[in-house]
Structure 1
Amino acid sequence: MGARVARMTRNFNLENRAFREISKEKPRAAPRHESKGAPLVEVSDESIHQRNDPLLGHLKSVYVESKDTTTASTGGTEATAAEPSKEETLCKNPDLRSLMVSLPKGPYDLAEPSNIPKGKLTLTEALKVLGSHHHQPQTWTPEKIAQEYSLDLKDTKAVLEFFIPFRVELIQPKNNGAKRINAS
């Protein structure tokens, strides 16, 4: 009951109050801040082409030495030499040589970390384990693999069972009349 009365008093004469607010004079915008600096000078074509002796003197005092790395590496025989690789550029520059991290490369041309925590394998070791178990399952049992590489036996069994990178399965089409591509 109280909400109905409150709503009626709130909405009483609403249109007249709205028109009164709309018809009020709008507030003026705040005045702009006056700058105390010199006004911006427009640059004309004449001022660009005029000679400025102090700037010319500063320019003459600058000495720039540049070397062409592509002709130095090829002995200048080729006019268009290929750009050096990132590693070659880093090795030539003594400042950047300290930033380059040299990780030993594995057989798959991937960087192998030097210290591996217990219970973890590198990609090379994982492929070696899977391959050896695939070729000699009696010798490389899950128990032996788990013991040699400090792995959990349950995880080792799961990986050997479900991760099979060497098996290729061809799925036959449901429709026997469909066209097939011969692999030979």
Structure 2
Amino acid sequence: MGARVVRMFRNFNLENRVHREISKDKPRTAPRHEVKIPLSVGCPEALETAVKQKNDPLLALLKSVYVESKDPAAAEDSKVVAADEESARRPLRFSLPGAPYGLGELTDVPKGKLTIVEALNALGSHQHQPQTWTTGKIAQEYALDLKDTKDFLEFFIPFQVEIIPPKTANAKQIKAS
């Protein structure tokens, strides 16, 4: 009910109000700010004199700058040597007989990397003889980083099976054969 009353007052004498607003004088626009015309647009002669004019503060700043350059060819040579060191490879130490899993074609491995067979062998050796196969010896044997070797021995757990006992005694269990 209240919406109807509001709509009536809002639409009352609508056309007359619209014509009154349209017939009013338009408001004046704000004056524009003065724009300085760049020297290059105004006259080319003024631009030439501005360019050739000596600016003492800028000249003093320029004299305080010291530039030392190096031959880029020498920098590229060091990058090539570093790339050769990264791509250095070591011969494969262990391989699976009969080439299962597609590992038979491997003959060498990049330094800092291990194959699955080498990783399992190194991990097994360390677990069975930790005094003989220390972290340092494994890192030296397989050309690994010492930090990576420590992380490998701590976090790489390949085949650990945990059997969690059921909470209730009458739950079904898998029987070992």
User: By the TM > 0.5 criterion, same fold?
Assistant: no
TM-score of the aligned structures, taking structure 2 as reference length = 0.40
Q: Which has the bigger relative contact order, CA under 8 A and spacing at least 6?
A: 2
In our comparison, the structure showing a higher alpha carbon Rg is 2
> Under a length normalisation based on structure 1, what TM-score does the superposition of the two structures give?
0.38
Q: Specify which structure has the higher proportion of helix.
A: 2
